[in-house]
Amino acid sequence: MMAETPDQEPPRTDTAVRQLSGDLRDVFRRGLTVQGWALVVERQPRPRAAGGQTAPLLTLAQQAQTRLKQLARAYLDQVQPQALEAVLAPADRLANLANALPPALEMHLKQGEWTGKTAADCALMVGALASAAAAGAQRGRDFSEHAAGWAAEVEEQATALREALNAVIERIDGPKGTLTALQGRIDKIRADITTALDQLVAGGQEVGDGVRRLGTGLLQGLRRHIPAKPSSPAKKEDEEATDAPPPPAEEDGAETADLLVETLTGTGQGAEKAYQAMAALEQANETLAALYLRLASARTDLAWARALADQADSLARGGASLAQDLSAMPQAWDDLAQGFQALSQRFHQEGLTLTGARALIAALGAEKQRSWAGLTACTTAIRRALAGMESLYPSVKA
């Protein structure tokens, strides 16, 4: 039977933060670099989407989106709101104490209980506030240094992804990109369709002319071979006097045959032209449909590439903004500590009289308002920046 292991004491916040910082750097070093993302873009397979159509770089889009979320969550997990609150919370507690201190001192003055010991006790209390603020400044300094390192790692990864996506965007939407090439081919196919339609109309006209000539030739031949109706003797004499002798039967038949052959040949050529134009039109329409599908796919690729690039920028800006807000925290704590420390010394020197005590209590309230305004603004900005990143990447774990 194994011996029970006693509960281990949880590590101090500073130690935990440093350990987590190292873990974070390992996570980021396993990430892709600029060259790594570029290779992914170049070698990315082109999977088939629904309907058999190509979905260019679809897998890269999914990988990039997942990577962005992993970066954000890794950053947020390493910042650790609990650890950050351990740095921010003393500000809230000290604010409550500093708010309560001037009224309490005023009560001592009104009750006539102000003595040298009271002044010394006040000096100690204000000094304790200064010491607590100084400790907060040191914790804030350590935390902000680590946060700056995390922000740099996140920005490096986001920039790498942005550069890779910019290459994709340029390849799709650049002067020599896919969209320009596809649009040029579409314009050419449209011109080919117009030409095919013109040829189809011309071929149809040739067929119509041939059929018309064929009908005319047949009618002429029929008129020559069908005997005329008998007429009256007087009219018959007039016709015999005026009509020229009909051509020989052999010449008449040869002329009709030549006309038929010529007409049929012209009709066949017109039909062939119309058939070829129809085939060209059908092929052009199929090609045009395929080009429009590719154009739609390219525009989809462009849309997600731009969206991911914007997300990468947003992540980099969010990390940089949070790091900047954190970097302002130590100075805000230092201002508070220095102000209270100066007041503590004045209580030792000037707080022995009621007049001096009243002046120092007023100075304490003014210092609290001045110094605390900067620290409160800083902590509010930090919490807002952290909440903003949490809202963008709420549930994906690194």
What is residue 1's predicted lDDT score, i.e. its pLDDT?
38
Q: Helix H segments across 30-177?
A: 34-43, 58-79, 81-110, 116-173
- Each as own residue / partner, the long-range contacts of residues 3-11 (CB below 8 Å, 24 or more positions apart, any chain) are none
Q: Cβ neighbours of residue 169 under 8 Å, at least 6 residues apart?
A: 302, 305, 306, 309
Give CA–CA dist 166/8, Å, rounded: 50
Cα pseudo-dihedral 202, 205, 207, 208, rounded to 10: 170
List C-alpha distances in Å: 77 to 169, 390, 393, 396, 397: 32, 10, 11, 11, 9
- By C-alpha distance, which of 23, 107, 151, 124 is closest to 348? 124
DSSP of 220-246: HHHHHHSPPPP--HHHHHHHHHHPPPP
State how far the Cα of 309 lies from the Cα of 282, in Å rounded to an integer: 41
Measured torsion, CA atoms of residues 384, 387, 393, 398, in degrees rounded to the nearest 10? 110
CA dihedral sign of residues 249, 255, 256, 261: positive
393 DSSP 8-state letter: S
pLDDT tens string 201-252? 665 555 555 555 655 655 555 555 555 555 555 555 555 555 555 555 455 5
* Nearest CA among 85, 81, 148 for reference residue 394: 81
pLDDT at 31: 42
Residue 128: what pLDDT?
77
Q: Which residues of the chain have pLDDT under 50?
A: 1-56, 249, 395-398
What is d(CA 133, CA 90) in angstroms, rounded to the nearest whole number?
8
Q: What pLDDT shows up at residue 207?
A: 53
pLDDT of residue 35: 39
Q: What does the alpha-carbon distance between residue 314 and residue 158 come to, in Å, rounded to a whole number? A: 9
Crossing angle (nearest 10°) for helices 249-350 and 81-110 = 40
Question: What's the pLDDT at 381?
Answer: 78
Q: From CA 79, how far away is CA 382, in angstroms rounded?
A: 11
pLDDT of residue 23: 38
Tokens in use for 172? 């799709």
The closest of 329, 363, 358, 331 to 344, measured between CA atoms, is 363
d(CA 253, CA 114): 146
Q: How many residues does the chain have?
A: 398
Give pLDDT, residue 227.
Answer: 56
The pTM (predicted TM-score) of the whole model is 0.52
Quick one: pLDDT at residue 203? 58
Give the tens place of pLDDT for each residue, 23-37.
333 433 444 333 333
